[in-house]
Amino acid sequence: MTEARATLDQFRKNAGLTHPDLWMRYFGLGGMSTAFEVEAYLYGALEPTVHDRDVLAHALNERFTEMGRDHPVPYSDDPQEDFDSR
């Protein structure tokens, strides 16, 4: 799961979001983890639940859509893909 967390943080960087920006988007979508917990998910210190990971993915995908890009962050029920190819 460390690879997935690192991937979420890389997607965050690619989206041009700070940790607080991502947390605000996550929280706005109903995420219940604290900003500190979300940052710990991104650094790999804590493992998010499937739900929390999907809410983070959704927050990131909304940002990518705003940027005129597709939604590159996979959800838990998406087929496994090579994250490095994105």
* Cα–Cα distance for residue pair 49/86, rounded to 1 Å: 23
15 CB contacts (<8 Å, ≥6 apart)?
22, 60, 63, 64, 67
pTM over 0.85? The answer is no
The structural domains of the chain, with segments of one domain joined by +, span 2-66
* pLDDT tens digits along 14-58: 999 999 999 999 999 999 999 999 999 998 899 999 999 999 999
Q: Lowest mean pLDDT of 26-30, 60-64, 70-74, name the range.
A: 70-74
Question: How distant, in Å, are the alpha carbons of 17, 21, 52, 68 from that of 35?
Answer: 14, 10, 12, 27
Tokens for 63, please give them. Answer: 């940002």
Q: Are 31 and 55 in contact (CB under 8 A)?
A: yes
Per-residue pLDDT band at 62 (split at 50, 70, 90): very high
